[in-house]
Amino acid sequence: MNSEKIDSKTAVASNVVAISRCAPQVSAETVSLLEQLLDEARTGTVTGLAIAILRSKGSYDLRLRGNATEIGNQMTVAGMLAALQKMVLELTG
């Protein structure tokens, strides 16, 4: 094995192509909905959230925030999530 060190400034052959990752797709529809919800939260119309977040690599998060975390709203939040489940099951591909 050759023990010579390679200088970090050594030129790369012209037939080598650098491959870079593609930028993740941005969902304009998602951004628009988030902006609308933010506006509604700032005016006090939206007081809580029960959200499922799908990430670009397939992972997900579930979060409850604001009034959705209050004991008196448990059945409302459970109903919202059941309605969401129904919506997802009715999606046609």
Q: What is the pLDDT of residues 45-84, one digit of tens each?
A: 999 999 999 999 899 999 999 999 999 999 999 999 999 9
Tell me the percentage of the chain whose pLDDT exceeds 70.
84
Residue 60 is predicted with a pLDDT of 96
Long-range pairs for 72-80 at CB < 8 Å and ≥24 separation? 73/48, 77/48, 77/50, 80/50
Looking at the predicted structure, is the pLDDT value of residue 9 above 70? no
**pTM across the whole model:** 0.68
